[in-house]
Structure 1
Amino acid sequence: MSQSRRSVLQGALGAGAAGLLVGGAAPLPAARPRAAKGVELGMRWLGVAGWELTFAGRSVLFDPYLSRMPYAGADGALDPALPLRPDPEAVEHVAEKVLTGVPELILVSHGHFDHLADVPHLLSRPGWSGRRVRTLCDGTSRHLLGAMGVPASRMADVVPVTGGDHLQFDGYSVEVFRSLHSRQQDYTSFAPGTRDAVPERPRTLGDLVEGRTLAFQLSVEGGPSVLLTGTSNVAERELAGARPDVAVVGMSGHEAVHGYPDRLLAALGSPSLLLPCHHDDMVTPLGASGISGTVSSGAVAALKQAAERQARGDGTRVLAPRHLELLDVTAPAAT
């Protein structure tokens, strides 16, 4: 295990962030001094599968879904026939008041509404005009973004990627992995399908189809690496050799998926820090006083139990993030 992984610093900037340690490690305080020569990395949970990563004066977004629109039919299940009802005010509030700044990169795991639906609004913000914002996604998501009215000037920077891509940026790299979407209890997936051309403008939740699901690993030079997943499934052979310091783990329903999340953690070699996501109710507005109560404690416990089963003696921390609070995850530079 690298020096960076052994000594990754994990802190929570924000009272009450709950850390759960496994593998016999001593408890860490809520915040740690920054390591000399280390690159500071901040992570902010945006709800559902969304995250903001900040480092070296820059920002990267992953699956930024902020509208939290109604999704359930009368039976409480996902209803693909429900209309898309984005909430521009909610998106603007987070973009203006919460995000660190204009992102230089947006990563999209797949085309479903709770991952993609607010990207067109973000890319069309007047406040971001004149600043280059690249988007990495699969080809289906790119076609859907075009159908939802992303300006041509922005579409030029929507880059289709696939598993196996490893792209170099200024001071960091992004590796792309083929992944899989979660399975419902009847073994089906919500709104499957691909788009080989720009379709008609999407009107319903089901019009935003999955496409090809991806995972991303962002590695900061002189800092930690973070694996970002947006679903509760894994193609573990695709992750062979990936050794992130931090793993964002989708923890929505996975009863129909064999051995998840144990297979994911085994493939990754037990990262130092695990952050569950996609385990809230998806509809309570961000900033609402009761939003923390919509997080599934069972999902957090399931991830902790998987980490305990996979522990190899170095200790793995499972940290349950709070909506919109900033986490400090900093690794020292290699010596």
Structure 2
Amino acid sequence: MNDRDDRVSRRAIFGVGLGAVAMAATGGVVAATSSSEPEVGQRQARAGLWLRWWGNNSWEIRTKAGDGRERTVLIDPWLTRFHTGTYTKEGADPKTRIEVDTALIDRMVDSGELRADHILVTHGHYDHLTDVPYLAKKTGATVVGTETHVNLMLALGAPEEQLCVATGGEYLSFDGYTIRVLRSLHSASAPRGRVAFAGTRPAVPPKRPEYIRDLVEGGTLAYEVIADSGASVLDFGGSNYIESELAGLRPDVVLLPAGGGMVPDYVGRLLRTLGHPPYVVPTHWDDFDHSLFEPAKDWGGLEQLREAVTTASPASEFRVVDHLETLRT
């Protein structure tokens, strides 16, 4: 296999074929809710969460504890955004070197612009995990991820005492919020339903990763963060999920990646399972070769996601948040 064949295109990984999703949603499935499910339009968002988007699937979630102080949870924080060509026709070169913009992270943390009590890792790819070890050092945050994620972070210099291995199923209570860890799935890519940079790194840390191909998926997790007020947000790091893991969850906000072209009724099935959440906020829809400090540039999946959400759950508000903007429930 030559280097060109081995390049990874995010357009292929995430898929842009949401037309099938929209058609499935219009086939009468949305109306076929059980009597135990709320009718579309009945749910109201609970107050108590602030969400800020740092691009890609990087989210800052803030709430207040009983003492009135803010608590902050970060999901997949990746500020560096080094150039990969991921959304170009050629795709990302697996031999792209990993970079961490420590000056940028120092500036954001030292100024108080960014802080963290917990950092949650959905999977081990370069656009999700690269900055986490350094951010853990800077903030002292507890970091949650699979055994593979923890081993990759150890190899990148993360403080071992701050790392927490999760497998999915954990339900953990902290001061001001609760974290529910859910087993999930990464986006599949055409034509064989593969996962980009698949694999695990169990047992012991590998040698220090040098290239983006060294940061393997390593098992995918989803997270629900629940404020003491009851307000909750559910995040998926890839455009796929395990439906049975989500039964009974009623988040106020769903952070939903664009794509899902290989997943049958990707949007409709998810939103029905979650009881038609008040807010659906797109995530992982910007081309991260462009600056975080400019308006987000759609890689091509945003409008198809909007159409699928509007068709499947018309009472859910599809709220687009731009880089560094905040949504408050």
Which residue number corresponds to residue 230 of structure 1?
A: 237
Which residue number corresponds to residue 318 of structure 2?
A: 318
Equivalences for 1:129-140 in 2 at 5 Å?
Answer: 132-140=140-148
Query: Could you tell which deviates more after superposition, 41-50 or 74-83?
Result: 74-83
CA shift at 1:162, angstroms?
1.4
Query: Partners in 2 of 1:98 and 1:182 — Cα distance?
Result: 34
* 1:225-269 superposed Cα distances (whole Å, 9 cap, x missing partner): 110111111211211111111100011x43223222222212212
* 1:18-55 superposed Cα distances (whole Å, 9 cap, x missing partner): xxxxxxxxxxxxxxxxxxxx5x3211001000100111
Equivalences for 1:13-92 in 2 at 5 Å?
Answer: 40-56=48-64, 57-72=70-85, 76-92=90-106
1:119 aligns with 2:121: no
2:214 aligned to which of 194, 207, 223: 207
Q: Secondary structure at the match of 2:54?
A: strand
Query: Partners in 2 of 1:99 and 1:272 — Cα distance?
Result: 28
- The amino acid across from 2:325 in the alignment is E
- Structure-1-length-normalised TM-score: 0.78
Contact 1:248–1:277, Cα closer than 8 Å, also in 2: yes
- The amino acid across from 1:133 in the alignment is A
Query: Could you tell which deviates more after superposition, 89-98 or 47-56?
Result: 89-98
**Residue 303 to residue 180, structure 1, CA distance change in 2 (3 Å):** same
* 1:51-109 superposed Cα distances (whole Å, 9 cap, x missing partner): 00111111110000111112237852122222112222333344345735x31100110
Identity level (%): 35
- The amino acid across from 1:220 in the alignment is A
1:304 aligns with 2:310: no
Query: Partners in 2 of 1:257 and 1:270 — Cα distance?
Result: 19
Which residue number corresponds to residue 23 of structure 1?
A: none
Contact 1:67–1:86, Cα closer than 8 Å, also in 2: yes
CA shift at 1:303, angstroms?
2.7
- Structure-2-length-normalised TM-score: 0.80
Query: Partners in 1 of 2:112 and 2:291 — Cα distance?
Result: 14
Aligned CA-pair RMSD = 2.1
1:174 aligns with 2:187: no
CA shift at 1:8, angstroms?
1.8
1:281 aligned to which of 284, 287, 312: 287
Query: Could you tell which deviates more after superposition, 256-265 or 233-242?
Result: 256-265
Query: Partners in 2 of 1:64 and 1:120 — Cα distance?
Result: 10
- The amino acid across from 1:295 in the alignment is D
Could you list the runs of 4 or more consecutive aligned residues of structure 1 that deviate by over 6 angstroms after TM superposition? none
**Residue 75 to residue 249, structure 1, CA distance change in 2 (3 Å):** closer
Contact 1:41–1:223, Cα closer than 8 Å, also in 2: no
1:147 aligned to which of 125, 150, 155: 155
- The amino acid across from 2:82 in the alignment is M
Contact 1:144–1:208, Cα closer than 8 Å, also in 2: yes
Where in structure 1 are there 5+ consecutive unaligned residues? Answer: 10-37, 330-335
1:243 aligns with 2:250: yes
Which residue number corresponds to residue 12 of structure 2?
A: none
Query: Partners in 1 of 2:263 and 2:172 — Cα distance?
Result: 30
Query: Partners in 1 of 2:219 and 2:121 — Cα distance?
Result: 11
Q: Secondary structure at the match of 1:141?
A: helix
Query: Partners in 1 of 2:313 and 2:58 — Cα distance?
Result: 27
Q: Secondary structure at the match of 2:149?
A: helix
Contact 1:163–1:214, Cα closer than 8 Å, also in 2: yes
